[in-house]
Amino acid sequence: MADATLLSMDNPVFKAFGFYAMVVILKMFVVQLSVPYRRITRKSFSTPEDIKMNDPSGKLKVIKNDDVVERHRSAHLNDMENIIPFVLVGLFYVATNPAASTAILLFRIFTGSRIVHSIVYLGQVPQPARALSFFVSMIVNCVMAIFTLQAFL
């Protein structure tokens, strides 16, 4: 049976995981907030009630295909598709009592790759920068999932 202290602040792996998980979650919140910011600054509202609130004159129309807003929405969606699995897989991974050096390295690589992904995506850095940062974070999630699955066998 797993030791209950594995998921406590006494475990350096759990403590590191908690830190890096919160960093990427906060980063995801920043990207999330960039979507309404871009909608407002570009006057690109997707619903009539948003237009009414931001343009009492009623001159604006619903816009659903603003490239800048869509880029920010896609970046946020990509964060959710990668950060939520990281948190879930990471908790199970920590419960397997992995080597601290390996686990912390994986957490750092994931966090760095997600920060880089947001910078290159929102900054419109040419490919393959975005693809590489995406695949690095995906590989980390897969490695942790495989290690965790092996521990359950």
pLDDT band of 2, cuts 50, 70, 90: low
* Radius of gyration (C-alpha) of the chain in whole angstroms: 19
C-alpha 70, offset from chain centre: 17
C-alpha 73, offset from chain centre: 12
Has residue 75 been placed in a domain?
Answer: yes
Has residue 99 been placed in a domain?
Answer: yes
Number of domain units in the chain = 1
Distance CA 14, CA 131 (A): 29
- 148 contacts: CB under 8 Å, gap ≥ 6: 89, 92, 93, 95, 96
Q: Above 80 in pLDDT, residue 50?
A: no
Has residue 97 been placed in a domain?
Answer: yes
Has residue 65 been placed in a domain?
Answer: yes
pLDDT of residue 72: 94
Mean pLDDT, range 19-24, rounded to an integer: 98
Selected residue with higher pLDDT from 60 and 1: 60
pLDDT band of 3, cuts 50, 70, 90: low
Total-model pTM: 0.89
- State the burial class of residue 75 (Cβ atoms within 10 Å of its Cβ: 0-12, 13-18, 19+): buried
CATH code of 68's domain: 1.20.120.550
- Nearest alpha-carbon partner for 104 in 11, 41, 31, 28: 11
Has residue 2 been placed in a domain?
Answer: no
- Percent over 90 (pLDDT), the chain: 73
pLDDT tens digits along 51-106: 778 777 777 777 778 899 999 999 999 999 999 999 999 999 999 999 999 999 99
Domain that holds residue 109: 12-152
pLDDT of residue 108: 99
Selected residue with higher pLDDT from 26 and 7: 26
Burial letters 79-100, b for 16+ CB under 10 A, else e: beebbebbeebbbebbbbebee
